[in-house]
């Protein structure tokens, strides 16, 4: 699947072409050239121009917008960005998600200013994951303004607020919006209302879609009757033309009669009485869809209905094969048939999109004909296939000969990747569909699919880990952990809830959002205690201590570190000796910062002893140096010099030249402060002697 925010569609692509829209295209170009009422009055608005294309489902509004964008794209060197603002199923896309997708698109796309990398234009003020949605939208608007002349194409706009949230405050930019009706509240918007095609264009479209048969040209009156029955809507005409092409022996009169009789099943015919009821007569697009649907063979009709489950409306043979439980070759042939009938929009030779106008009809057909258990099974097969592909996506980056690579070699060829670059490209282009699949699985799982949803989240997060830099996928990871949290809370899984909260807290802490991190860590501690997960509880306690230490709240930091230390000491000593040693050092650090010398000395001595037992001389040497520093601060200079000497001796045994030089110089400075100049010279000489072999080695390497 192409990334919804960056990849353009080909001109004239979609379930029908831009036939018969020359007048509308001229009007749009004229609107682009005109000054506008506010500009003419001397009060130009500090925002981008907005051209609105409004029309009913099936009127070709998106196709017209794509053609217009193609014609004017060269006027906007900053690039063309695309976003769909309504998900399949009719749910508006949250502004934050759209803004983040567009920011990511800016970072990947050409068009940055002179001397700047694209990611500098887009991500200079990229808000952290979990930020307020208004801040994310503001970051997008600022990035667009910095980029210069940008064209923003917003498809399936649900309400005016979506445009106002995303449109940059720059007259150099243009927003082309597509919606089902007028949008109030958008200043200086230029609407272009679409209805049906003119009669000649409608007949031409029907004839082209019907293929080589001369039925349309030899019977123009019947053709015009069909056009009227279809409301001259391009999508309905495309479907009807596809039906005619698939039934070369049926006359236009037959088509007219069949179209008049077509419609959704009655409640008695439907598996779901609610799905089959309709308070209004079917509209032209609905009649054309059901005419084509009912003409399909049983396997083709079933697979078509299951395409309503396709995440983000994306379909390829792999996904269709999983949904239908059929072979890849059968799935590929079926998708080709659907394209010829006007049921799918081609993206390339093997990838398709469910047209937005047909999505609600597919869902209605699925609800009417498919048993809930069968739909659940189809969704499970699809999710299982996605999990396998993501596992292969990660495994191809593992070292040769590893267990993951051996498992990858045992997968069917259709699931494998031959090279990490192939896997990375697949992950990036499928990202919107993969995230949509996760959201749908979590939203609709409610127990039955929760296990698969958790596996899919885990597989997607691991794939991001190996293919994307942490900052590039931070927002996606944040959303994934929030979804894990939702599933864990729904199922009372306290340990999983604690893990998700810890991960979210770490992401908040990584962007200095300490207040949010503290809330996450406290909730993680509560969840860990409910789940009797001592490891997670200890981790939460340490993280709380780290957060307060970053905030320079030494008292609270020492308190939480102390609690974490008590918990570690209460467990099996051998399993936690490294954690205990580390915590003694952290306690020593915060007591040192708070000028509590006695507590600091006890903690650093305990850390040094713990590292000695662990046989970690470098860490022990550092701890001894901190003991010496505290001793010197409280006036115990003799003890401090002796401890510095001990630290230097231990560091030399550690084999870490840099550490040994650092501690020797610290000891020399302490000796100078104590008036022991001979000892200071001895330490500095030792440091110089340690440096010389290191410098010689570096010089040899450079030569």
pLDDT in tens, 187-241: 878 889 999 999 999 999 999 998 877 888 888 899 999 999 999 999 999 999 9
Reply yes or no on whether the pLDDT at 113 is more than 90.
no
Q: Which of the four pLDDT bands, split at 50, 70 and 90, describes residue 578? A: confident
Reply yes or no on whether the pLDDT at 313 is more than 60.
yes
- As a whole-number percent, the residues of the chain with pLDDT over 90 amount to 64
CA neighbours closer than 13 Å in the CB half-sphere of residue 124: 13
Arithmetic mean of pLDDT, 126-148: 88
pLDDT in tens, 383-424: 999 999 999 999 999 888 888 888 888 888 888 898 999 999
pLDDT in tens, 93-111: 999 999 999 998 887 765 5
Task: Please state which of the ranges 170-179, 275-284, 657-666 shows the lowest mean pLDDT.
Answer: 275-284
DSSP-based helix, strand, coil % in the chain, nearest 5: 65, 5, 30
Give the H/E segment covering residue 50: strand 49-55
pLDDT confidence of residue 251: 92
User: For residue 466, how far is the Cα from the chain centroid?
Assistant: 15
pLDDT in tens, 33-42: 875 545 544 4
Strand ranges, E, within 158-197? 174-179, 190-194
Residues 567 and 534: beta-carbon distance below 8 Å: yes
pLDDT confidence of residue 385: 94
**b/e burial code for range 15-47 (CB count within 10 A of at least 16 → b):** bbbbbbbeebeeebeebbeeebeeeeeeeeeeb
pLDDT in tens, 418-463: 899 999 999 988 999 999 999 998 887 666 678 888 899 999 999 9
Reply yes or no on whether the pLDDT at 121 is more than 80.
no
Arithmetic mean of pLDDT, 69-82: 93
Q: To which residue do tokens 């970690």 refer?
A: 616
Give the H/E segment covering residue 52: strand 49-55
Pull the structure tokens for residue 346. 């081609």
Eight-class DSSP state of 44? -
Arithmetic mean of pLDDT, 14-32: 81
Residues 466 and 405: beta-carbon distance below 8 Å: no
Enter the pTM of the model: 0.82
Reply yes or no on whether the pLDDT at 5 is more than 60.
no
**Radius of gyration, alpha carbons of the chain:** 33
pLDDT in tens, 597-628: 999 999 999 999 999 998 999 999 999 999 99
Q: Strand, coil or helix: what is 81? A: strand
pLDDT in tens, 505-564: 999 999 899 999 999 999 999 999 999 999 999 999 999 999 999 999 999 999 999 999
């Amino acid at each position: 699947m192409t990334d919804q925010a960056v990849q353009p569609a080909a001109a004239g692509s979609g379930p029908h072409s831009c036939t018969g829209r020359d007048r509308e295209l001229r009007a749009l170009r004229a609107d682009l050239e005109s000054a506008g009422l506010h500009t003419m009055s001397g009060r130009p608005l500090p925002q981008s121009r907005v051209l609105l294309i409004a029309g009913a489902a099936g009127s070709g509004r998106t196709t017209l917008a794509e053609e217009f964008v193609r014609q004017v794209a060269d006027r906007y060197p900053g690039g063309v960005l695309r976003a769909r603002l309504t998900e399949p199923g009719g749910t508006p896309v949250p502004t934050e998600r759209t803004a983040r997708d567009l920011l990511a698109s800016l970072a990947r796309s050409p068009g940055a200013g002179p001397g700047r990398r694209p990611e500098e234009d887009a991500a200079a003020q990229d808000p952290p994951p979990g930020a307020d949605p208004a801040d994310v939208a503001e970051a997008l608007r600022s990035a667009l303004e910095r980029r210069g002349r940008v064209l923003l194409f917003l498809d399936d706009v649900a309400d005016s607020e979506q445009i106002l949230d995303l449109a940059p405050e720059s007259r150099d930019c243009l927003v082309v919006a597509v919606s089902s009706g007028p949008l109030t509240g958008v200043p200086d918007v230029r609407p272009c209302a679409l209805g049906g095609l003119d009669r000649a264009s409608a007949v031409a479209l029907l004839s082209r879609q019907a293929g080589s048969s001369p039925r349309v040209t030899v019977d123009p009156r019947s053709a015009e009757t069909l056009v009227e029955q279809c409301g001259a809507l391009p999508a309905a005409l495309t479907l009807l033309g596809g039906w005619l092409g698939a039934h070369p022996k049926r006359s236009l009169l037959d088509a007219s009669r069949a179209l008049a009789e077509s419609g959704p099943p009655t409640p008695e015919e439907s598996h779901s009485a609610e799905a089959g009821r309709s308070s209004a007569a079917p509209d032209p697009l609905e009649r054309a869809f059901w005419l084509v649907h009912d003409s399909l063979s049983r396997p083709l009709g079933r697979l078509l209905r299951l395409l309503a489950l396709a995440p983000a409306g994306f379909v390829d043979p792999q996904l269709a094969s999983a949904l239908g439980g059929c072979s890849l070759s059968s799935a590929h042939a079926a998708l080709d048939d659907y394209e010829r009938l006007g049921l799918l929009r081609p993206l390339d030779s093997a990838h398709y999109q469910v047209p937005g106008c047909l999505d609600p009809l597919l869902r209605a057909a699925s609800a009417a004909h498919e048993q809930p258990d069968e739909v659940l099974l189809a969704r499970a097969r699809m999710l299982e296939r996605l999990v396998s592909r993501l596992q292969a996506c990660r495994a191809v980056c593992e070292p040769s000969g590893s267990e993951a690579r051996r498992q990858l070699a045992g997968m069917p060829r259709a699931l494998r990747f031959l090279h990490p670059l192939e896997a990375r490209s697949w992950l990036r282009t499928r990202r919107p569909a993969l995230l949509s699949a996760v959201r749908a699985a979590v939203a609709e799982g409610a127990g039955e699919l929760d296990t698969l949803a958790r596996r899919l989240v885990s597989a997607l997060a691991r794939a991001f880990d190996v293919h994307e830099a942490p900052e590039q996928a931070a927002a996606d990871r944040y959303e994934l952990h929030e979804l894990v949290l939702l599933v864990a809370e729904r199922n009372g899984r306290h340990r999983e809830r604690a893990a998700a909260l810890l991960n979210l807290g770490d992401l908040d802490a990584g962007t200095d959002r300490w207040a949010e991190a503290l809330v996450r860590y406290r909730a993680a501690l509560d969840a860990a205690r409910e789940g009797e997960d001592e490891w997670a509880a200890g981790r939460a306690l340490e993280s709380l201590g780290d957060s307060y230490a970053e905030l320079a709240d030494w008292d609270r930091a020492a308190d939480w570190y102390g609690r974490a230390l008590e918990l570690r000491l209460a467990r099996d000593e051998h399993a936690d000796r490294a954690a205990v040693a580390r915590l003694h050092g952290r306690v020593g650090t915060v007591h040192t910062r708070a000028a509590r010398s006695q507590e600091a000395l006890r903690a650093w001595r305990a850390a040094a002893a713990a590292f000695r037992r662990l046989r970690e001389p470098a860490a022990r040497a550092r701890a001894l140096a901190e003991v010496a520093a505290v001793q010197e601060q409280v006036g115990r200079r003799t003890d401090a010099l002796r401890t510095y000497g001990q630290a230097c001796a231990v560091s030399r045994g550690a084999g870490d030249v840099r550490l040994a030089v650092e501690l020797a110089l610290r000891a020399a400075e302490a000796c100078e402060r104590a008036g022991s100049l001979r000892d200071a010279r001895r330490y500095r000489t030792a440091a110089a002697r340690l440096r010389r072999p290191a410098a010689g080695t570096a010089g040899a390497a450079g030569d």
